[in-house]
Structure 1
Amino acid sequence: MRAEGMSPLLALGLLVAGLSSSVHCLPGGGLHLEDVTSEDQHKGAPVDDHTFVSSNTDFAFSLYKQLALKTPNENVIFCPPSVSMALAFLSLGARGPTLMEILEGLKFNLTKTPETEIHQGFQHLLQMLGRPSNQLQLSVGNAMFVQEQLKLLHKFREDARALCASEAFSTDFRGSDTAKKLINDYVRNKAQGKIVEFFKDLDKLTEMILVNYIFFKGHKCRGATTLCEAERDFFFLT
Structure 2
Amino acid sequence: MDLQESIRKHTEVSLNLVKHVSLKHAKESNLVFSPLSIDVVLSLIAAGAKGETLYELLKFLKSQTSGDLNSFSSELVALVLADGSKIGGPRMSFANGVWIEKSLPLKPYFKDIVDTIYKASSKQVDFQTKL
Tell me, yes or no, whether TM beats 0.5.
yes
Secondary structure at the residue paired with 1:138?
Answer: coil
Tell me which residue corresponds to 2:17. Answer: 63
Tell me which residue corresponds to 1:138. Answer: 92
Distance, in Å, in 2 between the alignment partners of 1:159 and 1:83 is 17
Task: Kindly indicate whether residue 44 of structure 2 is the aligned counterpart of residue 89 of structure 1.
Answer: yes
Shift of residue 172, structure 1, vs aligned partner: 0.8
Evaluate the alpha carbon distance shift between residue 98 and residue 140 of structure 1 in structure 2; reply closer, same or farther with a 3 A threshold. Answer: same
**After the TM superposition, which residues 1-238 of structure 1 pair with which residues of structure 2 at under 5 Å, given as runs?**
47-68=1-22, 69-106=24-61, 108-110=62-64, 114-134=65-85, 135=88, 136-176=90-130, 178=131
Task: In structure 2, list runs of 5 or more residues that go unmatched.
Answer: none
How far does the alpha carbon of each residue in 1:28-56 deviate from its partner, in whole angstroms, 9 at most, with x for none? xxxxxxxxxxxxxxxxxxx4122211111
Partners of 1:160 and 1:166 within 8 A in 2 = yes
Distance, in Å, in 2 between the alignment partners of 1:88 and 1:109 is 10
Across the two proteins, how many residue pairs are aligned to each other? 127
Structure with the bigger percentage of strand: 1
**4+ residue runs over 4 A deviation:** none
Secondary structure at the residue paired with 1:104?
Answer: helix
Secondary structure at the residue paired with 2:79?
Answer: helix
Shift of residue 139, structure 1, vs aligned partner: 1.5
Structure with the bigger percentage of helix: 2
Secondary structure at the residue paired with 1:137?
Answer: coil
Shift of residue 109, structure 1, vs aligned partner: 4.1
Distance, in Å, in 2 between the alignment partners of 1:121 and 1:90 is 14
Shift of residue 119, structure 1, vs aligned partner: 1.2
With CA pairs under 8 Å and 6+ residues apart, which has the higher RCO, 1 or 2?
A: 1
Task: In structure 1, list runs of 5 or more residues that go unmatched.
Answer: 1-46, 179-238
Distance, in Å, in 2 between the alignment partners of 1:52 and 1:140 is 20
Secondary structure at the residue paired with 1:92?
Answer: helix
Q: From the CA coordinates, give the structure whose radius of gyration is larger.
A: 1
Percent identical pairs in the alignment equals 20
